[in-house]
Amino acid sequence: MTSDPWLRDWNYQLMVGLFRLIPHSRTTDGIADLLVLTPLLSTWIVALYFYRYWTKDDGHRASRRRYLLNAVMAFAMAAIISIVIRPWVHWPAPVLNPSFQALFPRDLWGSGSKNCFPSHSTLAYFTMAAGFWPLHRGLSIVLSTLALLFVSLPRVYAGGHYPIDVIFSCVLGFLMLIAVWRWPVPVRVANWLVGTEAKSNLQDWLFFLWTFELGEGFRSAEVLAGIARRLSHWP
């Protein structure tokens, strides 16, 4: 396993600057943990706006839902790409890396992931937030900023990710958004998913499941994936 991330020195200096600006203390570490562990203060912000824009009933509902669906597809594509490259590009979280551990309090050492690249939380919420751009540019900027401050920054501060993990996720998500805006989901598929054709209980179920998982940080999906991995005896 690779010990250090891409641009090791740059990541190190950036984290040193961050911790000089916001030194580690019981209070700041507690706030970071609170944001990471409490979806209502972070990830549910994007989910609630997704719910509001999806359920809004007016003359632009169909086109609005298609743009939201594009953002979902962009995230799905980005997630697949990130999963594919993980076996070849990987490194342990800063709190597991001897070269970075000294930057963090000792009680955080050993608590991170053995493969933290890229930041999937950033990938999900930055991509979804940026996906509001065709609908409301101001809202997209605000939500993207909040995603970086309330989702990405606490994970870097707590030693779960490097800055390069976050930046890569932002770039990948943005590139996938550009792709789906240029080559959108086929009209027939989009019409069924957004509800412009015959409505079904399956549509309601998919919408509820997606919104709930988006709000909860896909924790249920991670649990199910872990169970499936154990049952199939995957390494």
Q: Which domains does the chain have, with CATH numbers?
A: 22-231 (1.20.144)
**pLDDT tens-digit map of 50-73:** 999 998 888 888 889 889 999 999
Query: Cβ distance 210 to 194 under 8 Å?
Result: no
pLDDT at 188 over 80: no
- Identify the band that residue 3 occupies on the pLDDT scale cut at 50, 70 and 90: confident
Neighbours of 140 (CB within 10 A): 19
Mean pLDDT of 208-223: 84
Rounded Cα–Cα distance for residues 164 and 140 (Å): 22
N-to-C CA span, the chain: 15
pLDDT at 18 over 60: yes
Q: In the structure encoding, which two tokens stand for residue 60, read together? A: 């632009």
Phi-psi region of 220 (alpha: psi -120 to 50; beta: other; left: phi over 0): alpha
- Output 230 or 78, whichever has higher pLDDT: 78
Rounded Cα–Cα distance for residues 29 and 83 (Å): 29
pLDDT score of 172: 98
Q: Could you tell me which residues come within 8 angstroms of residue 148 by beta carbon, excluding any fewer than 6 positions away?
A: 122, 126, 166, 170
CA proximity to 214, closest of 61, 75, 63? 75
pLDDT score of 198: 47
Mean pLDDT of 180-195: 75
Mean pLDDT of 136-148: 98
Rounded Cα–Cα distance for residues 51 and 87 (Å): 35
